[in-house]
Amino acid sequence: MKITADVKYIGVNDRKIDLFEGQYIVPEGMAYNSYAIIDEKIAIMDSVDAGFTDEWLANIEAALEGRKPDYLIVQHMEPDHSASVKHFADAYPQATIVSSAKAFVMMKNFFGTDFAERQLVVGEGDKLTLGKHELTFVTAPMVHWPEVIVTYDSTDKILFSADGFGKFGALDADEDWACEARRYYIGIVGKYGAQVQALLKKAAALDIEIICPLHGPILTENLGYYINLYDIWSSYRPEEEGVMIAYTSVYSNTKKAVMLLEEKLKALGCPKVVVNDLARCDMAEAVEDAFRYSKLVLATTTYNADIFPFMREFINHLTERGYQNRTVGMIENGTWAPMAVKVMKGMLEKSKNLTYTDTTVKIMSALNSESEAQLDALAKELV
Give the domain CATH number at 305. Answer: 3.40.50.360
Quickly state the pLDDT bin for 1 (edges 50, 70, 90): confident
Q: Are residues 227 and 245 in the same domain?
A: no
Q: Are residues 253 and 365 in the same domain?
A: yes
Residue 40 dihedral angles phi and psi, to the nearest 5°: -55, -40
In this prediction the pTM is: 0.93
Q: Exposed (0-12), middle (13-18) or buried (19+): which is 85, by Cβ within 10 Å?
A: buried
Q: Which amino acid, 170?
A: A
Q: Is 340 contained in some domain?
A: yes
Buried-exposed string 150-172: b where 16+ CB fall within 10 A, e elsewhere: bbbbebbebbbbbbbbbbbbbbe
**Is the pLDDT at 305 greater than 90, yes or no?**
no
Q: Exposed (0-12), middle (13-18) or buried (19+): which is 100, by Cβ within 10 Å?
A: buried
Q: Are residues 209 and 252 in the same domain?
A: no
Q: Is 302 contained in some domain?
A: yes
Residues of the domain holding 181: 7-234
Q: What is the number of other CB atoms lying within 10 angstroms of the CB of residue 29?
A: 18
Q: Are residues 140 and 199 in the same domain?
A: yes
Quickly state the pLDDT bin for 244 (edges 50, 70, 90): very high
Mean pLDDT (whole number) for 122-141: 97
Q: Are residues 197 and 59 in the same domain?
A: yes
- Report the share of the chain in percent with pLDDT over 70: 100
Say if CB 306 and CB 338 are below 8 A apart. no
Q: Find residue 19's DSSP bridge partners.
A: 25
Q: Is 1 contained in some domain?
A: no
Mean pLDDT of the chain: 96
CA 289 to chain centre: 13
Number of domains the chain is built from: 2
Report CA Rg, the chain: 24
Q: Find residue 244's DSSP bridge partners.
A: 274, 296
Q: Is 246 contained in some domain?
A: yes
Q: Are residues 102 and 127 in the same domain?
A: yes
Pairing of strands 24-25, 19-20: antiparallel
Q: Which 3 state secondary structure label does DSSP give 246? A: strand
How many whole angstroms separate alpha carbon 198 and alpha carbon 148? 13
Q: Is 121 contained in some domain?
A: yes
Sign of the C-alpha dihedral computed for residues 47, 22, 190 and 195 taken in this order: negative
Which residue among 234, 251, 267 closes a domain?
234
Which residue among 180, 215, 234 closes a domain?
234
pLDDT at position 220 is: 96
How many whole angstroms separate alpha carbon 228 and alpha carbon 231? 5
How many whole angstroms separate alpha carbon 149 and alpha carbon 142? 10
Quickly state the pLDDT bin for 10 (edges 50, 70, 90): very high
Q: Residue 315: how many CA atoms within 13 Å on its side-chain side?
A: 25
Q: Are residues 27 and 143 in the same domain?
A: yes
Say if CB 166 and CB 159 are below 8 A apart. no
pLDDT at position 257 is: 97
Say if CB 300 and CB 333 are below 8 A apart. yes
pLDDT at position 47 is: 98
Mean pLDDT (whole number) for 74-99: 97
